[in-house]
Chain A
Amino acid sequence: MSDALALPRPITARPAAYDRAVRLQDASDEWLAGRAARGDTAAFEQLVLRHQDRLYTLALRVTLNEADARDCVQEGLISAWRSMARFRGDAKFSTWMYRIVMRKAYDALDKRKRTPQPVDELPLTVVEPQIADRLDLDAALAQLEPDFRAAAVACDVVGLSMDEAAEVLGIPPGTVKSRLFRARDRLAVILDPERSS
């Protein structure tokens, strides 16, 4: 009886934080970058969450070292945060971040001055085939010159277009194309030695 007479419950508003989180997830990179440029750390965090894997992939495949890759991404993201105010939307935000991380990766390579690991030191025979393929790939990438490796990673691993890769690498698109061609050619030989014979 009392239930029948009870007034309907007011619709409880969703928490503001929930709405905000949903809005951030749906927002474009450029909108988030604009918010981050005005000091919104939540917007910047959304950008980091969105791009961290690809940034890490880029750094890892160029530096070929997990610790270096992590440092590159971390330092690159901090640099991006510090200079968010200078991002004016001339390029895609993701391209801008990739470029920062790519520079960090090149810096790491210059600092390290380490020669690539030889293929025969990798334990290819004691791992599962799928992992072995990946190790093959890592070893093959390690045999490429850094500039060719960077072109292959930017275009084929990360999936950037030729123009985006050119912007990230700071070279003309034609140079990216030729480096990518040579990198693929070289990788084909490394991964399939019979081809060279």
Chain B
Amino acid sequence: MSDEHDRIARLLREQGQAEAPPDLVGDVMAQVRREPQATPMHRGVNWRPIATWAAVAAALLAVGVGIAQLAPGGSSSSSGSAGGGGSSVAAEAAGGGKSAPAYPSADSAVRSFTVPRHEAEKLLSGETNEQFSTVGRSTLTLDRAQWNALRGKLAAAAARHPHPKDPVIVRLRPD
């Protein structure tokens, strides 16, 4: 059986060959030269991995921004436990002075409050020092002892007026 198959295979190999017609190449190439070829391979830039990495980078960036938003002291909310949310920006706009520095929002770490001007005047009226006059000022700075004495009242005032029309930033003097 195997010999017979080998004989058939040899017969096919020896007698099965054929030569292409002599004008076949010419006809094919004439048509090839008339034919527009399919879009060539884009060997230059493979955009798929680049797009993938760009998407990953964008996602990571979004996560990072989100974490930064949630992180303590990440925004102007440090300007008051209740009166935050952009009040320091408003104060800066009103007075054109320095904006309140960003501090952690934990109560013990709050170092500034944004309160209405009239509240600030009322709270600081007991102070005889000239520096506590609120006229024409957008920021008042207290030393540690004054800050500790007034912090509770300032926090309450800031909570009552989260978005004061005429804000004043009362802050702890930096060490």
Contact = CB atoms under 8 A, between A and B. Distances in A.
21 contacts: A41-B32, A44-B32, A45-B29, A56-B18, A56-B20, A69-B18, A73-B20, A73-B24, A77-B32, A78-B31, A81-B32, A81-B35, A85-B39, A133-B11, A134-B15, A137-B15, A153-B12, A157-B12, A157-B16, A181-B5, A185-B5
A108 B2 CA distance: 33
Which among A39, A69, A70, A81 has the highest number of chain B CB atoms within 10 Å?
Answer: A81
Which among B11, B21, B31 has the highest number of chain A CB atoms within 10 Å?
Answer: B11
Contacts of A41: 29, 32-33
B29 A70 contact: no
Q: Is the interface of A mostly helix, strand, loop or mixed?
A: helix
Interface residues of B, number: 30
Interface stretch (A18-26, A112-120, A187-195): A187-195
A52 B37 contact: no
A53 to B, nearest CB: 5
Q: Which 10 A-B pairs have the closest CB atoms?
A: A157-B16, A156-B12, A56-B20, A52-B20, A184-B5, A156-B9, A57-B18, A184-B8, A85-B41, A188-B4
Contact of A81 (B9, B21, B37): B37
A184 B28 CA distance: 34
Nearest to B2: A184
A39 B40 contact: yes
A100 interface: no
Contact of B38 (A77, A85, A133, A184): A85
B4 to A, nearest CB: 5
A60 to B, nearest CB: 5
A57 B16 contact: yes
Interface residues of A, number: 43
B19 interface: yes
A147 B9 CA distance: 17
A78 B12 contact: no
Given A55-B20, A82-B35, A48 B8 contact: no
A152 to B, nearest CB: 6
Contacts of B28: 48, 73-74, 77-78
A113 B76 CA distance: 83
Interface of B: 1, 4-5, 7-9, 11-13, 15-21, 24-25, 27-29, 31-33, 35, 37-41
A61 B16 contact: yes
A86 B42 CA distance: 11
B107 to A, nearest CB: 65
A12 interface: no
A78 B25 contact: no
B21 to A, nearest CB: 6
Contacts of B27: 74
A49 interface: yes
Nearest to A86: B38
Interface in A101-158: 133-134, 137, 152-153, 155-157
Contacts of B31: 74, 78
A87 to B, nearest CB: 9
Contact of A156 (B13, B24, B40): B13
A170 interface: no
Given A69-B18, A187-B12, 9 more contacts: A45-B32, A48-B28, A56-B18, A73-B24, A74-B28, A85-B39, A133-B15, A155-B9, A159-B13
A184 B6 CA distance: 9
